[in-house]
Amino acid sequence: MFVNQPNQQQLPINTYPKWKYVLIVIVLSLAFLYAAPNIFGKDPAVQLSGLRDAMITQQQLDEIESSWEANGVEPVSVKPSAIGEEGVKQIIARFKKDADQLKARELANDVLNPTLENQNYVTALNLAPATPEWLANLGGEPMKLGLDLRGGIHFLMQVDMEQALKRQQDQLRRDFIDTLTDQEPSIRGRVEPIENGMLLSFRNQEDAERAYEALFKEHTGRIDLQLSEKGGRPIIRGTLNQQKLQEIKDHAIDQNRVILSSRVNSLGVAEPLIQRQGADRIVVQLPGVQDSALAKQILGATASLEFRLVDHEADVVSAQNGRVPPGSKLFESEYGPIVVFDEVEVAGEHLTNATASYDPQTNEPIVSVRLDGEGGSKMTRTTTANVNNQLAMILKESRPIFDIKDGKRVLVGSELEERLISAPNINGPFGSRFQITGRFTEAETRDLARKLRSGALIAPTFIVEERTIGATLGEENIQKGVTSVIIGFALVLGFMLVYYKLFGLVANVALTLNLVMIVCVMSLMGATLTLPGIAGIVLTVGMAVDANVLIFERIREELRSGSRPAQAIDKGYGHAVSTIADANITTAIAAIILFAIGTGPVKGFAITLFIGILTSMFTAIFVSRGIVNLMYGGRTVKKLSI
């Protein structure tokens, strides 16, 4: 009885062509290779990073290393882990013992932050994967552990988009009025807010048409204009177009993400996660942090921007020696020391936008700044009276203060810090729109625009979800997760062996390989392992067996209906495959939908389930057949151990 065996070619029954074995060996070797980093564990490490623009110089590094050597602390390796444009931003040093790690951190901190006032570097305790270098160079990395497995704090922050839109609406009102009054003769009309825009009404059709033309010329690409009539009066609806609305939202999210990142960095947390989630939320995860009140205080602190004037009458040198004139303050900046008046000319809340762009004439990178109406008139007053003075832009931010208690560096609170971010010359009077030029590179203008925006707080955030997972709970979760996987796995292996004998053993090998492959794929994808993820793996183990059960039951059936053993194997596999494929595809559909719609734990579960389905198809069908072929192929078989 020869049923469909279309690709049989000249090979005898139950044999694989060589290339299939080669493929299996290659895939499995890769799987073992990339799953391997997970068994090496992690080394205690110290992470040194510069705050904001601070770089770690070679000199500092040398000093740190000799200080370690002098104190008998020997690092396993010292490597830069983040290199910025201007130098090394972050260094990770690994150690053998936990005690070394603590000591090394203190010593490094003494070098980098010699005084409590001047702390420009963060030293954090970390766990660095102990993956051998050659493997790490091949891209081998262990799986990341979710917060539920390592402890820490999770925040979900909502960005207040209404505020962001409202600011833009106010801006639009001013722009419209400016455009209409700039016309010759100026056009009169009424402006009132509508959703995402402004409604302008005019006395006559002629005014409306002129206004339409003027507005179109000046604001095209940013707003949608619509000329119509309402209550017998001509009106224009000017609304922000989709692209602009999206841009406003993206800016608001991006701004907040950047602010949050810089604050989280100042906390010295190892491997924090700051990620956009959906349209208007940001996830912040701080592994290892336990004090949620303090974390919230630092994340929630608002930065503010101030425009002040530079005090040219003050003597910079005597100010540096401590004689700062009253009412002024000395700032150290990349432009050298500058003395700035305390009085605020224009506050950052008036800033509506700051973007990096190009000077239309010279094509040089510049930063365009826009202020709201009130800010604009204040700025006009200030700049008219102070042409050729410098306008200092000061960013005020709170930053954490650390103190040494019982030999440990602890976070004791936060303080407000002022930073000069730019001090351009006032070339002439200007108002609500102005440009900052100064032989910038494109990256510099982007950075400056971002800093300015960060002080304007275009859209405030608030916490909508918060989870603190204690470190012990995390460890408990890992332990329980691993225990349950091992027990469940062992039960299934035992059962399969008893039930299907030699074939059960084949299934068990396939199952084990499946587990290795899941770990490999998750490590390669950089997926995060969470407790629900472990549950997903366990479930996959249970369900992956199903493929082999289907095959083996089919083989038994064939044997019962009188097929010879070799035929039974061939037909058993052949018949079962489409069933397995159908069943797995439908489950995969469910997993994909879970992933697309779910968040947090549901996503973690969906990822492992989906990966498990794919890898189980490979191991349960392809690999198990390979093994069976090796055992029974190419010879006469009297009896199957099934």
Report 473-492 residues binding other proteins (CB under 8 A).
Answer: 473, 476-477, 480-481, 483-485, 487-489, 491-492
Cβ-based nearer residue to other proteins, 134 or 462: 462
Count of residues of this chain found to bind other proteins when the rule CB under 8 A is applied: 88
Cβ-based nearer residue to other proteins, 95 or 618: 618
Cβ-based nearer residue to other proteins, 130 or 294: 294
Q: Least distance to other proteins from the beta carbon of 497, Å?
A: 10
Q: Does 26 bind other proteins (CB under 8 A)?
A: no
What does the alpha-carbon distance between residue 64 and residue 396 come to, in Å, rounded to a whole number?
Answer: 31
115 Cβ contact partners less than 8 Å away, ≥ 6 residues apart:
none
Q: Does 83 bind other proteins (CB under 8 A)?
A: no
Question: What sections of 36-160 are H helices per DSSP?
Answer: 58-70, 98-112, 133-137, 147-150
User: Which of 9-17, 175-183, 184-192, 403-411 is the region at the interface with other proteins (rule: CB under 8 A)?
Assistant: 9-17
Cβ-based nearer residue to other proteins, 298 or 394: 298
- E-state strands within 166-291: 189-194, 197-202, 223-230, 233-240, 273-277, 281-287
Asked whether the beta carbons of 152 and 286 are under 8 A apart, the reply is yes
613 Cβ contact partners less than 8 Å away, ≥ 6 residues apart:
540, 543, 584, 587, 588, 591
Q: Does 591 bind other proteins (CB under 8 A)?
A: yes
Collapsing DSSP to helix, strand or coil, 59 comes out as: helix
Kindly tell me which residue out of 1, 2, 7, 362 binds other proteins, with binding defined by CB under 8 A. 7
What does the alpha-carbon distance between residue 530 and residue 555 come to, in Å, rounded to a whole number?
Answer: 38
Q: Least distance to other proteins from the beta carbon of 287, Å?
A: 15
x/- letters, 376..395, toward other proteins (CB under 8 A): --------------------
Kindly tell me which residue out of 96, 139, 590, 634 binds other proteins, with binding defined by CB under 8 A. 590
Q: Does 412 bind other proteins (CB under 8 A)?
A: no
What does the alpha-carbon distance between residue 637 and residue 559 come to, in Å, rounded to a whole number?
Answer: 12
Kindly tell me which residue out of 100, 148, 207, 345 binds other proteins, with binding defined by CB under 8 A. 148
Report the Cα–Cα distance between both ends of the chain, in Å, rounded: 22
Q: Does 550 bind other proteins (CB under 8 A)?
A: yes
Q: Does 24 bind other proteins (CB under 8 A)?
A: no
Q: Least distance to other proteins from the beta carbon of 177, Å?
A: 36
Cβ-based nearer residue to other proteins, 13 or 214: 13
Kindly tell me which residue out of 37, 146, 189, 532 binds other proteins, with binding defined by CB under 8 A. 532
Kindly tell me which residue out of 98, 343, 593, 634 binds other proteins, with binding defined by CB under 8 A. 593
Computed from CA positions of residues 181, 182, 186, 189, in that sequence, does the dihedral angle turn out positive or negative? negative
Task: Kindly report the length of the chain.
Answer: 642
How are beta strands 528-529 and 144-145 bridged, if at all?
parallel
Under rule CB under 8 A, which residues in 487-526 are in contact with other proteins? 487-489, 491-492, 495-496, 498-499
Q: Least distance to other proteins from the beta carbon of 465, Å?
A: 5
Q: Least distance to other proteins from the beta carbon of 446, Å?
A: 33
Under rule CB under 8 A, which residues in 175-194 are in contact with other proteins? none
Q: Does 538 bind other proteins (CB under 8 A)?
A: yes
Q: Least distance to other proteins from the beta carbon of 256, Å?
A: 17
User: Which of 168-176, 319-327, 367-375, 550-558 is the region at the interface with other proteins (rule: CB under 8 A)?
Assistant: 550-558
What does residue 284 show for φ and ψ, rounded to 5 degrees? -125, 125
What does the alpha-carbon distance between residue 606 and residue 522 come to, in Å, rounded to a whole number?
Answer: 12
DSSP-derived secondary structure letter, 36: G
Asked whether the beta carbons of 104 and 68 are under 8 A apart, the reply is yes
DSSP string, 393-460: EEEEEEEEEEEEETTEEEEEEEEEEEEEEE--B--S---SEEEE-SS--HHHHHHHHHHHHHTT-SS-
Kindly tell me which residue out of 98, 403, 465, 475 binds other proteins, with binding defined by CB under 8 A. 465
Asked whether the beta carbons of 393 and 423 are under 8 A apart, the reply is yes
Q: Does 463 bind other proteins (CB under 8 A)?
A: yes
Helices and strands in the chain, H and E counts: 17, 22
Kindly tell me which residue out of 609, 611, 620, 623 binds other proteins, with binding defined by CB under 8 A. 609
x/- letters, 568..587, toward other proteins (CB under 8 A): -----xxx-xxx-xxxxxxx
Distances 569 to 22, 99, 167, 561 between C-alpha atoms, Å: 22, 59, 72, 13
Under rule CB under 8 A, which residues in 293-322 are in contact with other proteins? 293, 296
Name the CA dihedral angle for 540, 541, 546, 549, rounded to a multiple of 10 degrees: 170
- Name the residue among 472, 465, 516, 481 with its Cα closest to residue 604: 481
Q: Does 601 bind other proteins (CB under 8 A)?
A: yes
Cβ-based nearer residue to other proteins, 83 or 585: 585
Cβ-based nearer residue to other proteins, 78 or 294: 294
